[in-house]
């Protein structure tokens, strides 16, 4: 349980390192809390909407569709935004990588949007075809960067100190050596 809430204790700490356990246990903790809060939102009728286009069929019964959103789950998402980014940055630091790698997938799509806006005055059909290909390439690049980040988050951190701080497991290793 300690690992699940440690990022909340280090709320906006973007320096230092976080081991895999801290990152993934916080990730699991967030999933569990989101499931519970979404359930409570639905039970208490605190917002949310059906994901189907027309949730009420001809007979008045709800068609398929998952409910999403809601006041409680939305507030939780806002509350954990900063610690989620901070623990991801510290996780990258543990791999001796800059936290700016988190921005890479998120910056590719706006670049494609700006490029599309710049082409609005051109021949519409030709520019839209070219934009579609460009947007597809940028979208694929964002997906690839997301996969790269996922792989990095699953990797072992660098052993020993690196440019972002001491090994987060070093204190535990010293303790194990003491009691051998």
pLDDT tens readout for residues 31-59? 999 999 999 999 998 876 555 554 555 54
Q: Is residue 114 part of a domain?
A: yes
DSSP string, the chain: -HHHHHHHHTTT--SS---HHHHHHHHHHHHHHHHHHHHHHHHHT-S-EESSS--B-TTS-B-S--EE--HHHHHHHHHTHHHHHHHHHHHHHHTT--GGGGHHHHHHHHHHHHHHHHTTTS-HHHHHHHHHHHHHHHHHHHHHHHHHHHHHHHSPPPSS-BTTBS-TTHHHHHHHHHT-
Q: Which of 8-12, 92-96, 165-169, 174-178 has the lowest mean pLDDT?
A: 174-178
User: Residue 107: which domain range?
Assistant: 97-156
Q: Is residue 175 part of a domain?
A: no
For 93-129, the pLDDT digits (tens) are: 999 999 999 988 888 777 777 776 766 665 656 666 6
Same domain (yes/no): 86, 5: yes
- When divided into structural domains, the chain yields a total of 2
Q: Is residue 47 part of a domain?
A: yes
pTM as predicted: 0.75
Same domain (yes/no): 15, 42: yes
Same domain (yes/no): 80, 140: no
């Amino acid at each position: 349980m300690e690992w699940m809430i440690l990022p909340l204790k280090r709320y906006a700490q973007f320096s230092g390192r976080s081991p895999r356990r801290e990152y993934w246990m916080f990730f699991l903790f967030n999933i569990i809390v989101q499931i519970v809060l979404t359930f409570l939102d639905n039970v208490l009728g605190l917002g949310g909407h059906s994901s189907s286009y027309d949730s009420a069929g001809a007979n008045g019964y709800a068609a398929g569709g998952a409910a999403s959103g809601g006041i409680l789950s939305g507030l939780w998402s806002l509350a954990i935004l900063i610690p989620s980014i901070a623990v991801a940055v510290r996780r990258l630091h543990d791999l001796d990588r800059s936290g700016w790698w988190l921005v890479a997938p998120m910056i590719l799509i706006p670049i494609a949007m700006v490029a599309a806006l710049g082409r609005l005055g051109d021949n519409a059909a030709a520019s839209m075809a070219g934009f579609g290909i460009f947007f597809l390439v940028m979208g694929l690049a964002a997906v690839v960067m997301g996969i790269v980040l996922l792989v990095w988050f699953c990797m072992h951190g660098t052993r020993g100190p690196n440019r972002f701080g001491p090994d987060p497991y070093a204190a535990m290793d010293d303790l194990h050596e003491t009691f051998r």
